[in-house]
Homo-oligomer: A and B are copies of this chain.
């Protein structure tokens, strides 16, 4: 069960409200790199967690923290929208600066939300829950979570660079820090379970008989004119410790030329297809 306390997890100050930056910040709320995504992702993973219950607890605790991140970012958006124009006068309509502000902001911050945050990204596209990755497989989920936090910290770093407002920079430096921890915490689960060697390939429970292992360890060079880009993935022991990496270049197709024959009567095709 969830509870709430009235103060924000971190203080939000906005020295120079900027409606364009409000639009940018929306990416951290409703973008695929944003906080709604991680809050819901960890929450749904927790609800489906099977196995050692400590991972469930860990997921729920961080899901709860991410809800608090939505909250202070939402406040930051509203503070940046203080000062956005809500009425256009004849003079304003002629002013290129006003045009630039209006062009640079999300019109729905005036029209739809009345100067407050929305669950959308910086293009105004609503977040959709297809981005909540929760597979029921612990390693797949931990990777997905570290990925989400990596994307989140990239975003927070870019936002930090796109503002010169000290309050916003301070808030973002907190987010950058928490994203550091969260990246590590999910990868630490994998390390605790024996690291990549033990956890790969995901799922590690697939019986070997279900895998055509002849095809499991070669890098396929599908290029007609480029040499294989060599690296850790083209030679040496595989990361799961089961085999050696090799290379397969200019591969011949292994299958047939597909042919579906004629269309069935009654199937809605043209007569010429039947």
Contacts and interface: CB of A to CB of B under 8 A. Distances in A.
Interface in A10-46: 10-12, 16, 18, 20, 23-24, 27, 30-33, 36, 40, 43-44
B203 A270 contact: yes
Interface string A224-254: 1110111111000011100001000001011
Interface size range of chain A in the complex: 35 or more
A88 B104 CA distance: 14
Nearest to A249: B61
Interface string A69-107: 011101100100000011111101100110111111111
Interface string A184-205: 1101110111001001111111
B51 A273 contact: yes
Interface string A55-78: 101101111110110111011001
B3 A64 contact: yes
Given A157-B210, A212-B176, A220-B65, A205 B114 contact: no
Contacts of A220: 61-62, 65, 178, 181
Given A4-B64, A50-B269, A176-B210, A122 B139 contact: no
Contact of A4 (B124, B224, B233): B224
B86 A161 contact: yes
Contact of A158 (B128, B223, B268): B268
A224 to B, nearest CB: 5
A94 B135 CA distance: 29
B50 A260 contact: yes
Contacts of A204: 270-271
B129 A30 contact: yes
A2 B253 CA distance: 9
Contacts of A54: 229-231
